[in-house]
Amino acid sequence: MELDKRFKVLPFCCFGTDKKVITNYIGKKGYFANEISSFRDINSCTYGTLERVFCDRANSFQIKENKTEYLFFIPECYVKPKEKQYRPFTLNEFLHIYELGDIVTFRCKYNDHRYAGIVTGYEAEKDGDKAIIHIGCYSYLLSVLFTDYERINSEEGEWVPFGIEVEE
């Protein structure tokens, strides 16, 4: 069985759990479940605060929020943060960030070649699905900029996708 990729450790359970170690997590947030298979997807687990530990029975971990006892527990400190999800810019979103004449600094994701060019124009159909951006003397589909390149964010100076963050 494969756990959700965000979990860095196997779930704690009543077998092999050292009470001295696990009591350090009392008052800490984490993920609880009664079936090991629930850890395949983090959204299948119950998120809450560890209130009590009972090492002498199967339902070892009591959650503070509703006093329910669970078989398994993974402390939040052993969970990778959720990665941000992005989608490609629409033409209007791109033009909101870059105006004609602005300099765009970007790099290729595959070979780290860096480029800088002036936004010289764009082409778009009525629906704008396949917008093309002209940077210098080259033309790029917005979808290609998203999949193959990253741009420098002028506010933080870090490399970010050619796209918009989306909420899941």
pLDDT digits (tens, 9 = 90+) for 56-102: 777 789 899 889 999 999 999 999 887 888 999 999 999 999 999 99
Which residues are CB-contacts of 116 (< 8 A; sequence separation ≥ 6)?
Answer: 103, 104, 105, 106
Whole-number percent of the chain with pLDDT over 70: 95
Joined together, the tokens standing for residue 153 give 């964010």
Amino acid code (one letter) for 81 = P
Amino acid code (one letter) for 101 = G
User: What is the band of 1 on the pLDDT scale with cuts at 50, 70, 90?
Assistant: confident
pLDDT digits (tens, 9 = 90+) for 41-69: 999 999 999 998 887 777 789 899 889 99
- Give pLDDT, residue 107: 95
Question: What are the extents of the domains in the chain?
Answer: 19-78, 85-166
- Give pLDDT, residue 54: 81
* SS (HEC) of the chain: CCCCCCECCCCECCCCCCHHHHHHHCCCEEEEECCHHHHHCHHHCEEEEEEEECCCCCCCEEECCCCCEECEEEEHHHECCCCCEEEECCHHHHHHHCCCCCEEEEEECCCCCEEEEEEEEEECCCCCCCCEEEECCEEEEHHHHHHHEEEECCCCCCEEECEEEECC
What is the reported pTM? 0.59
- Give pLDDT, residue 19: 72
Q: Is the pLDDT of residue 31 over 90?
A: yes
Average pLDDT estimate for 138-148: 94
